[in-house]
């Protein structure tokens, strides 16, 4: 035994005698994780969060979250002598006086954008592959929660510097609070410590941004990861992979090296962006004052869809018994996002209600094999995309020489028309892909070799695909729709007929598929 | 699918194919060197970072293609940091991919559902616990506990009351009073009609006493835009026309939609546009909404000139300015 082994051994012994960790570690160091590039998306989100904690902590050492007015006397000449909040002045100081300060600010902002992008793409991966199905519904809901908190956290974060652009964003947030029936103006006055903008808001959202929400993130991410760990990761279908096993690489050493290495790569890329790509140059916007604004006011991208919805809302307000209900704010700002996010959180339960499927699923769906789900996903994304486009209507108008009115009307109509079209097209595409899979299994791969038959006909030679590929294309289940009787055996109509009808209808739509190729089909073809 | 149809069979995990680094010691040695080079590049990155921090002054700008004029300190600091991190990652992953075992391993999943006897034991333990506490029998305790817990939940609401004052008339009143002078922002200079040419726009605020400090929350309500047109260009009723002075008309600059500053004025069309959500107001028709999400015109401030020839407010705004709220009456 070398000296090093002896030391390591006695440390391990010391810890194990007090915690019994060896048993747990033994089991988990050899835990197997399936490998696929799309499983890295969640990792990117996790690593960006760590980068946010590190760079954010750096920023707190110099940032002064106060709306106390100061006269700027730093090194950025265009703003010297101007009145501004201490928050804005200290952000300028971080950018111009503190060495590495601008780099950290830019890393922090880039990491936030990557964090949100990774969450959204990770969510899309989980959705389109059906990874949210039993037993992973809890983790889906936690994920939706993290996405929601991420949007809020990001908004609060870019609001903190108190520059002209972000102040405008806060003004809009205040207008949404103020628009709430009954309690709106009270809530707004409580949040802002009086009339907008007051001097209380920046210090308050600072506490929320650096303490409350990161705490919530930490708790939710911990549970999210513990569940992934305990339930074991899903895997894509393939030869040798079943609902009962996990095929992949062990945590030690391969996965640890890859995952650990990937953290440094994500951090490195973020640092590179922070070094070369300017982001949120607040010194160009100037300090916030409610009477000024810069043209082309844009939120960060993950808020853009919300802004786009607000922009396209019709000018609708009700005046009832001397009270005002501003629908033009409530519908796009609260009601539609509320419906979207609630629907998203509940989707696993809705789908399992439609299909009646209460079994566990660990093998992921290929999106084409769940046409209805895939189409619904693309439909939702189309909705978001139209909203996002409208959120940049001023930028698009100036870039492409259009009028804002044209883009606004495109969005107002498109938000209703395009998502259903996307649904239909996607569903048909999925079914076509299923048909192509079937053809591929039954007739093989086109080789591109043309052969002339004795009678002069040209045919393309097809080559049978490998058994592995054939398995991949046929391993999925094709379940018939739910058979819901409207009346029971004695002819008595069941309660909830309408609900059952709806369910049967949706179940039928959900089960539409091209029959997959079977061994029998293959045999039949060989006979010909 | 019914059972009679025979499905295509799972051929099982394909046989493992060894990498060159598994079979050829020379290839393995080469991979080892590559990993080492990647780690050394990271070290070089950290040295660049330290060197940049100490030796590059903060005010040196250098030209880079694509990036343009760039602060050298910030750039090299960042590039050094990026390299120091990125190449550790690349090294680790290259190591894992070329030299660590790449044979796929199979483990079995376990069922999550607890065995029936465990479930039964749990239910029993929970029931026994509840019974031992006597929650079911002692309804007096249950109810009083419910009451006290509910009340405890209320206390944060009470304690947070002092977050802010009640709105009072703050949302409906501005600093504009009868006879308040309009002054330029910035500059705080009173304005005569002849200061504004036809087609001009001026950003104004109510005059305040010398030495008094303007609060942002006042500016958020008081900001007013002055626009001068030719009087015949107005399309106003008699009352609204009487609120103008020699073609000069005044509107609240705070958007009636969500409170942004309505700062874009198109001289050709005489439209005011809010850059936030593109609500568009027609100046000739008392800021009527002609496009976008806003449901109300911008409030108009009645103006006239005082005895010294300066523009003043005829009266306060006759409606609340800014975004809608519940207690707003129209």
A31-339 under CATH 1.20.810.10, yes or no? yes
The segment with the largest mean pLDDT, out of A177-186, B151-160, B207-216, is: A177-186
**A314 CA: distance to closest CA in chain B (Å):** 5
Give the nearest partner residue to A175 out of B92, B112, B258, using CB atoms. B258
Chain B residue with the nearest C-alpha to that of A67: B216
Q: Do B216 and A247 touch (CB under 8 A)?
A: no
| Residues B167, B165: Cα–Cα separation, whole Å | 6
Overall average pLDDT of the B41-45 stretch: 98
Q: Is the dihedral of CA A187, A190, A194, A198 positive or negative?
A: negative
Q: Is A505 helix (H, G, I), strand (E, B) or coil?
A: helix
Q: Give the tens place of pLDDT for each residue, A308-346.
A: 999 999 999 999 999 999 999 999 999 999 999 999 999
Chain A residue with the nearest C-alpha to that of B58: A99
Residue A365: predicted pLDDT:
96
Q: Give the tens place of pLDDT for each residue, B84-132.
A: 999 999 999 999 999 998 888 999 998 889 999 999 999 999 999 988 8
Give the nearest partner residue to A328 out of B221, B223, B295, using CB atoms. B295
Residue A186: predicted pLDDT:
96
ipTM: 0.92
A441 and A474 in contact (C-beta within 8 Å)?
A: yes
Q: Give the tens place of pLDDT for each residue, A221-258.
A: 999 999 999 999 999 999 999 999 999 998 888 989 99
Nearest alpha-carbon partner for B278 in A326, A391, A318, A170: A391
B146 shares contact with chain A (CB less than 8 Å): no
Q: Do A264 and B278 touch (CB under 8 A)?
A: no
Domain boundaries, chain A: 31-339
High-pLDDT (> 70) share of chain A, %: 98
**B243 CA: distance to closest CA in chain A (Å):** 22
Please check the confidence at residue B3 and state whether its pLDDT lies above 60.
Answer: no
A190 and B163 in contact (C-beta within 8 Å)?
A: yes
Helical pair A301-312 and A164-179, crossing angle rounded to 10 deg: 50
| Residues A341, A141: Cα–Cα separation, whole Å | 10
Q: Following CA atoms B229, B233, B237, B240 in sequence, which dihedral angle do they give, to the nearest 10 degrees?
A: 0
With beta carbons under 8 A apart, name residues in chain A contacting B21.
none
CA A263, A268, A271 angle in degrees (round to 5)? 125
With beta carbons under 8 A apart, name residues in chain B contacting A261.
88-93, 95-96
With beta carbons under 8 A apart, name residues in chain B contacting A518.
1, 5-8
Give the mean pLDDT of chain A. 93
With beta carbons under 8 A apart, name residues in chain A contacting B101.
254
**B131 CA: distance to closest CA in chain A (Å):** 31
Q: Would you give the DSSP letter of residue B181?
A: B
With beta carbons under 8 A apart, name residues in chain A contacting B58.
96, 99
CA B166, B167, B169 angle in degrees (round to 5)? 130
Q: Do B216 and A522 touch (CB under 8 A)?
A: no
**A3 CA: distance to closest CA in chain B (Å):** 25
**A457 CA: distance to closest CA in chain B (Å):** 32
Residue A526: predicted pLDDT:
78
Q: Do B1 and A182 touch (CB under 8 A)?
A: no
Q: Do B293 and A315 touch (CB under 8 A)?
A: yes
B290 shares contact with chain A (CB less than 8 Å): no
Q: Give the tens place of pLDDT for each residue, B248-299.
A: 999 999 999 999 999 899 999 999 999 999 999 999 999 999 999 999 999 9
Q: Do A240 and B13 touch (CB under 8 A)?
A: yes
Q: Do A261 and B108 touch (CB under 8 A)?
A: no
Please check the confidence at residue A295 and state whether its pLDDT lies above 80.
Answer: no
B293 shares contact with chain A (CB less than 8 Å): yes
Comparing A420-424, A433-437, B98-102, which segment has the lowest mean pLDDT? B98-102
With beta carbons under 8 A apart, name residues in chain B contacting A84.
none
Q: Do A182 and B326 touch (CB under 8 A)?
A: yes
Residue B1: predicted pLDDT:
42
Residue A528: predicted pLDDT:
66
Comparing B18-27, B132-141, B314-323, which segment has the lowest mean pLDDT? B132-141
Q: Do A102 and B105 touch (CB under 8 A)?
A: no
Domain boundaries, chain B: 20-98, 182-313
Does residue A445 come out as left (phi exceeding 0), alpha (psi in the -120 to 50 range) or beta? beta
Q: Do A102 and B263 touch (CB under 8 A)?
A: no
Q: Give the tens place of pLDDT for each residue, A362-411.
A: 999 999 999 999 999 999 999 999 999 999 998 899 899 999 889 999 99
Facing residues of B184 across strands?
A: B204
Residue A486: predicted pLDDT:
67
What are the distances in angstroms from CA B287 to CA A38, A81, B252, B279, B300?
Answer: 53, 36, 10, 11, 8
What are the distances in angstroms from CA A393 to CA A104, B19, B145, B293?
Answer: 31, 53, 56, 14
B248 and B226 in contact (C-beta within 8 Å)?
A: yes
Alpha-helical (H) ranges within chain B are: 20-23, 25-55, 72-98, 116-133, 139-159, 216-222, 238-242
Pick the residue with more confidence: B67 or A286?
A286
With beta carbons under 8 A apart, name residues in chain A contacting B109.
232, 243-246, 362
Give the mean pLDDT of chain B. 92
Give the nearest partner residue to A196 out of B71, B217, B329, using CB atoms. B217
With beta carbons under 8 A apart, name residues in chain B contacting A314.
293
Give the nearest partner residue to A245 out of B81, B107, B278, using CB atoms. B107
Chain A residue with the nearest C-alpha to that of B185: A291
With beta carbons under 8 A apart, name residues in chain B contacting A296.
275
Q: Give the tens place of pLDDT for each residue, B141-176.
A: 889 999 999 999 898 888 999 999 999 999 999 999
Q: Do A313 and B13 touch (CB under 8 A)?
A: no
Q: Give the tens place of pLDDT for each residue, A473-502.
A: 999 999 888 887 766 667 777 677 788 888
| Residues B235, A29: Cα–Cα separation, whole Å | 79
Q: Which of A324, A411, A469, A511 to probe by mutation at the B interface, max B CB count within 10 Å? A: A324
Facing residues of B281 across strands?
A: B272, B289
Give the nearest partner residue to A317 out of B92, B100, B295, using CB atoms. B295
**A308 CA: distance to closest CA in chain B (Å):** 8
Q: Which of B278, B279, B281, B320 to probe by mutation at the A interface, max A CB count within 10 Å? A: B278
B61 shares contact with chain A (CB less than 8 Å): no
pLDDT band at residue B80 using 50, 70 and 90 as cut-offs: very high
Q: Give the tens place of pLDDT for each residue, B50-70.
A: 999 999 999 899 998 888 888
* Top CATH class, B182-313: mainly beta
């Amino acid at each position: 035994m070398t000296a090093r082994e002896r030391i390591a051994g006695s440390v391990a012994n010391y810890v194990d005698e007090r915690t019994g960790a060896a048993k747990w570690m033994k089991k988990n160091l050899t835990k197997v994780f399936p490998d696929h590039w799309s499983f890295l998306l969640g990792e990117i989100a996790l690593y960006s969060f760590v980068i946010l904690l590190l760079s954010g902590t750096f920023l707190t050492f110099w940032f002064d979250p106060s709306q106390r007015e100061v006269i700027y006397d730093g090194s950025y000449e265009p703003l010297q002598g101007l009145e501004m909040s201490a928050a804005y002045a200290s952000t300028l100081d971080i950018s111009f006086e503190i060495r590495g300060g601008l780099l950290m600010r830019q890393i922090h902002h880039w990491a936030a954008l990557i964090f949100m992008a990774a969450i959204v793409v990770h969510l899309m991966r989980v959705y389109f592959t059906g990874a949210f199905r039993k037993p992973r519904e809890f983790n889906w809901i936690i994920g939706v929660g993290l996405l929601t908190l991420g949007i809020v956290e990001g908004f609060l974060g870019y609001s903190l510097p108190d520059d002209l652009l972000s102040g405008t964003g806060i003004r809009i947030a205040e207008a949404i609070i103020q628009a709430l029936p009954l309690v709106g103006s009270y809530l707004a006055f409580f949040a802002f410590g009086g009339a907008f903008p007051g001097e209380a808001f920046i210090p308050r959202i600072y506490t929320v941004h650096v303490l409350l929400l990161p705490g919530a993130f930490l708790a939710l991410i911990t549970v999210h990861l513990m569940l992934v760990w305990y339930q074991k990761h899903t895997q894509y279908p393939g030869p040798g992979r079943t609902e009962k096993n996990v095929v992949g690489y062990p945590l030690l050493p391969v996965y640890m090296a890859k995952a650990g290495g990937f953290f440094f790569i994500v951090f490195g890329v973020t640092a590179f962006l922070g070094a070369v790509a300017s982001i949120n140059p607040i010194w160009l916007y100037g300090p916030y004052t409610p009477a000024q604004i810069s043209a082309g006011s844009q939120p960060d991208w993950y808020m853009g869809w919300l802004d786009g919805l607000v922009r396209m809302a019709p000018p609708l307000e009700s005046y009832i018994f001397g009270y005002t209900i501003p629908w033009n704010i409530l519908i796009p700002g609260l009601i539609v996002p509320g419906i979207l996010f609630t629907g998203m959180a509940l989707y696993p339960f809705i789908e399992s209600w439609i299909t009646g499927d209460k079994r566990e699923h660990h093998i992921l769906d290929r999106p084409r094999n769940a046409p209805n789900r895939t189409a619904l996903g693309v439909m939702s994304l189309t909705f978001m995309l139209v909203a996002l486009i409208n959120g940049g209507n001023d930028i698009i108008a100036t870039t492409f020489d259009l009028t804002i009115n044209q883009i606004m009307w495109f969005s107002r109509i498109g938000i209703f028309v395009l998502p259903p079209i996307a649904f239909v097209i996607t569903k048909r595409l999925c079914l076509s892909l299923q048909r192509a899979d079937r053809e591929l299994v039954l007739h093989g791969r086109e080789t591109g070799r043309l052969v002339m038959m004795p009678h002069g006909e040209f045919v393309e030679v097809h080559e049978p695909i490998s058994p592995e590929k054939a398995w991949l294309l046929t391993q999925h289940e094709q379940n018939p729709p739910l058979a819901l009787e409207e009346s029971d055996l004695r002819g008595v109509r069941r309660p909830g007929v309408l609900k059952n009808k709806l369910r049967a209808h949706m179940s039928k739509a959900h089960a539409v598929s091209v029959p997959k190729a079977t061994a029998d089909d293959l045999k039949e073809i060989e006979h010909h | 699918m019914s059972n009679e149809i025979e499905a295509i069979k799972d051929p099982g995990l394909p046989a493992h194919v060894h990498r060159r680094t598994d079979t050829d010691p020379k290839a393995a040695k080469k991979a080892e060197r590559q990993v080492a080079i990647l780690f050394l590049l990271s070290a070089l990155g950290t040295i660049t970072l330290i060197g940049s921090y100490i030796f590059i002054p903060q005010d040196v700008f250098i030209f880079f293609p694509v990036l343009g004029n760039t602060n050298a300190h910030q750039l090299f600091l960042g590039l050094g940091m990026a390299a120091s991190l990125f190449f550790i990652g690349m090294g680790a992953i290259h190591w894992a991919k070329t030299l660590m075992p790449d044979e796929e391993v199979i483990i079995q999943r376990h069922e999550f559902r607890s065995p029936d006897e465990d479930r039964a034991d749990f239910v029993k333990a929970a029931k026994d616990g509840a019974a031992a506490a006597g929650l079911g029998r002692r309804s007096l305790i249950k109810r009083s506990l419910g009451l006290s817990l509910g009340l405890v939940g209320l206390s944060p609401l009470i304690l947070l009351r002092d977050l802010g004052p009640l709105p009072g008339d703050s949302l409906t009143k501005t600093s504009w009073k009868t006879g308040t002078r309009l002054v330029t922002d910035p500059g705080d200079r009173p304005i005569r009609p002849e200061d504004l040419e036809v087609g001009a726009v001026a950003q104004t605020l109510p005059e305040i006493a010398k030495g008094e400090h303007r609060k942002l929350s006042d500016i958020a309500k008081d900001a007013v835009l002055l626009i001068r047109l030719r009087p015949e260009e107005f399309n106003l009723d008699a009352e609204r026309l009487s609120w103008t002075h020699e073609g000069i008309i005044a509107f609240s600059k705070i958007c009636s939609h969500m409170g942004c500053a309505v700062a874009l004025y198109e001289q050709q069309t005489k439209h005011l546009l809010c850059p936030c959500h593109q609500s568009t107001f027609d100046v000739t028709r008392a800021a009527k909404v002609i496009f976008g999400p806003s449901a109300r015109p911008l409030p108009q401030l009645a103006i006239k000139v005082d005895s010294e020839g300066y523009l003043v407010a005829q009266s306060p705004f006759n409606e609340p300015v800014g975004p809608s709220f519940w207690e707003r009456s129209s």
